[in-house]
Chain A
């Protein structure tokens, strides 16, 4: 079953604009990871944020995590046409030894960046 819900489901912007995607989840987590998926391809890991972290940066990416609201956001600054893809958040449950670190994914946000 899907834990996370991404919002919006689709986002269309112009090159150079910022793109913000949100993710909500339901259970206690160990960490939250964001992935990108180009059409028909595998998942590319973007960034991981631990449950005790509130914000993390990587290049043009900024991720925030609010465990009290069970939500996260991914900001892509100065977007490029090459950023066009589906973006997924995935949570690793904090279920002790039985979780094995497996990820539960949301349905994703489809980002289209127009040149």
Chain B
């Protein structure tokens, strides 16, 4: 399978705990995006990487959120001191630098904060 891979698919955590999600983009896609989606809403942009550089961050990405893409391949999204309002699906997507504007999404990581 050469699609965007996300792990874990589901995470239940207690309020105040830290969680980390991993995304493996499609091979050779150097553009990587994180989105968040709550029930009944469309996805909302969180952050964008081009290779290892984080070039854009949404105001939705509070200081409890941090994303990295250390070697320009996989990416992690960490949420510290989780709150119930963080419960959502976190979607990763990737796109090649050349060859089209289509953005390909993974299956998402569901977070439930209890």
Q: Are A101 and B101 in contact (CB under 8 A)?
A: yes
Q: Are A102 and B56 in contact (CB under 8 A)?
A: yes
Q: Count contacts on A: residues with CB < 8 A to the other chain.
A: 28
Given the complex of chains A and B, what is the CA–CA distance between A75 and B96 in angstroms?
A: 28
| B105 nearest in chain A by CB position | A43
Q: Mark A37-51, 1 if CB is under 8 A from B, else 0.
A: 000111111001010
Q: Mark B98-114, 1 if CB is under 8 A from A, else 0.
A: 00111111111010000
Q: Are B43 and A100 in contact (CB under 8 A)?
A: no
Known: A50-B101, A107-B42. 8 other contacts (CB 8 A): A2-B41, A43-B91, A48-B100, A101-B103, A103-B33, A103-B45, A105-B42, A105-B44
Most buried by B among A43, A48, A98: A43
* B74: interface (CB < 8 Å): no
27 A-B pairs within 8 Å (CB atoms) are namely A2-B42, A35-B105, A41-B107, A42-B91, A42-B106, A42-B108, A43-B91, A44-B105, A45-B102, A45-B104, A48-B100, A48-B101, A50-B101, A88-B43, A98-B56, A100-B31, A100-B50, A100-B56, A101-B101, A102-B48, A102-B56, A103-B45, A105-B42, A105-B44, A106-B42, A107-B41, A107-B42
* B40: interface (CB < 8 Å): yes
Q: Mark A78-110, 1 if CB is under 8 A from B, else 0.
A: 000000000010101000001011111111100
Inter-chain contacts of B45 with A (CB < 8 A) = 102-104
Q: Count contacts on B: residues with CB < 8 A to the other chain.
A: 27
Given the complex of chains A and B, what is the CA–CA distance between A50 and B101 in angstroms?
A: 9
Inter-chain contacts of A102 with B (CB < 8 A) = 33, 45, 48, 56
Inter-chain contacts of A2 with B (CB < 8 A) = 41-42, 44
